[in-house]
Every structure is written in structure tokens, then in C-alpha cells.
């Protein structure tokens, strides 16, 4: 299932929500009706949290089914809450970077890392997420890969800003089909307007009917 969603009237739901196969992290002030819709669509357990004392959960958190990576400016209370509510491990990212969504894209098999992440940090992330393979994303004009794609265990949605060559290279690395699409009426940043796992997806409420239909087909969800 794919449904339209927003948070406080904002269609950039990838800024506020973060999901893996089992848990979806959302801000603490989310309405009850929205919580129920997310649970039913993504088929996950909802965890209401703040990150760095903000509602911007989606841009600060990266995860797969093994655990969550958080910025090093998170409070101990926030870290403990995520551990307690999910039972998964938590890694505090040992870097000055905080907007982790820009730098890391992961599923349960692979992780794609920005070249801004050091070799030592890359090894730590790969080990923590327990993935079989990782690749460093290098691009002079598109250094931040996170906003440009959404990755599930079955498929990926990528920005039309990626060239055919870049898309093919990523597809070969991931071993998954990648399809291009915009969100929110032409925005070329699926990572900002789409939140998905292998069971369902949420798309920004400003998305057109064609975008919704295209992404529903891409995600292969009922």
C-alpha cells in the first residue's frame, strides 16, 4: 500500500519520518490518526522520539533491521529511548556531520556512503549494520546521495537528476532494480518526499496522481 501523508502540513515527510522493516521513528507530536495510518501502511511498530531535541527525525537517523545510527549530538535520553522501544542496537555516529540522511543510504544487504565519510567511519558503519557490501558514492555535482534515493530490500526509487550511467552503476552494486521518479509535484528528491520499506510506503501529499501511481508500481506494494 502507498498512501499520501504530511506532517504539520509539510509534504517533505522524509524530513520527519524514518523507517526500516520493523520500526518507524516519528516525532512525538504526531496525531493519532496519522500514527494509525503509518502503522497500517508500513506494517511496523511506531516509536515516538525526538532527535537532537527536534522533530527532524527523518534527516538525522539512518537504520536497517540491525539498528539505528544517530548523530553524536543526541542526548542520552533520546538514545536510551530508541534502544528501549525497539530492542535494537544504536550507534552514535563519531563525526561532526549530523544530517546523516545526506550521507548514508542502507537496506539490510548494502550501504551506500558519501565520500565525506572517512574510511574508518565507513568500516564502523558497515560492521554495525551487518551488511554484506558497501560502496562509496563519489559525485562532484551531487555529493549527497540520501535525498536522491529511497531504498528498500526489494527496489530503489531514484532521482531523475541521476544520469543513466549513475543509476546503472548503483543498480549493479545493490543487485536491485532502480527506477526514476519525482515526488511532490515534480521535486527531484525522493528521499525528502517518500518513506518506504518492502511492505508499503508514504508519499508527500503534494504528489500528483501520476507520481503516486508510478511509485506504487515501482515499490511493488499492494
Domains defined along the chain, listed by start: 2-219 (3.75.10.10)
Under 8 Å between Cβ of 156 and 174? yes
Angle at 181 between CA 178 and CA 184, to 5 degrees: 145
Average pLDDT over residues 30-50: 95
Query: What's the rounded Cα separation, in Å, for the pair 175 and 172?
Result: 5
pLDDT at position 14, please?
98
Q: Is 221 a residue whose pLDDT tops 80?
A: no
CB atoms within 10 A of CB 65: 16
Taking residues 69-94, what's their average pLDDT? 97
Which residues, in sequence order, are CB contacts of 212 under 8 Å at separation 6+?
2, 4, 203
Q: Poorest-confidence range of 34-48, 90-104, 133-147, 208-222?
A: 208-222
Model confidence band, residue 10 (pLDDT cutoffs 50, 70, 90): very high
Secondary structure element (H or E) that encloses residue 137, with its range: strand 133-137
- Please report the pLDDT score of residue 5 as a whole number: 96
On the question of pLDDT at 132 being above 60, the answer is yes
Residue 222 has pLDDT above 60, yes or no: no
For residue 211 the three cell numbers come to 507520481
Mean pLDDT, residues 141-161 taken together: 96
pLDDT on residue 95: 86
Q: Are 14 and 194 within 8 A, CB to CB?
A: yes
Q: What is the pLDDT of residue 94?
A: 84
Q: What would the mean pLDDT of 49-76 be, rounded to a whole number? A: 97
Write down how long the chain is.
222
Average pLDDT of the chain is 95
Amino acid at each position: 500500500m502507498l498512501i499520501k501523508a504530511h506532517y504539520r502540513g509539510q509534504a517533505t515527510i522524509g524530513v520527519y519520518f524514518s523507517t526500516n522493516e520493523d520500526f518507524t521513528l516519528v516525532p512525538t507530536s504526531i496525531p493519532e490518526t496519522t500514527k494509525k495510518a503509518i502503522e497500517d501502511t508500513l506494517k511496523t511498530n511506531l516509536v515516538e522520539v525526538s532527535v537532537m531535541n527536534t522533530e527532524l527525525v527523518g534527516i538525522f537517523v539512518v537504520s536497517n533491521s540491525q539498528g539505528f545510527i544517530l548523530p553524536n549530538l543526541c542526548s542520552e535520553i533520546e538514545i536510551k529511548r530508541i534502544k528501549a522501544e525497539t530492542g535494537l542496537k544504536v550507534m552514535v555516529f563519531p563525526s561532526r556531520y549530523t544530517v546523516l540522511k545526506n550521507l548514508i543510504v542502507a537496506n539490510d544487504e548494502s550501504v551506500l556512503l558519501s565520500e565525506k565519510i572517512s574510511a574508518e567511519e565507513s568500516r564502523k558503519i558497515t560492521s554495525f549494520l551487518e551488511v554484506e557490501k558497501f560502496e562509496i558514492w563519489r559525485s562532484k555535482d551531487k555529493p549527497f546521495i540520501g535525498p536522491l534515493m529511497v531504498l528498500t530490500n526489494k527496489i530503489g526509487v531514484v532521482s531523475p537528476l541521476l544520469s543513466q550511467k549513475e543509476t546503472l552503476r548503483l543498480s549493479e552494486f545493490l543487485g536491485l532494480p532502480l527506477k526514476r521518479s519525482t515526488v511532490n509535484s515534480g521535486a527531484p528528491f525522493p528521499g525528502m518526499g517518500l518513506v518506504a520499506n518492502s511492505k508499503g510506503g508514504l508519499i508527500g501529499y503534494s504528489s500528483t496522481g501520476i507520481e503516486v501511481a508510478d511509485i506504487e508500481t515501482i515499490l511493488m506494494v499492494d
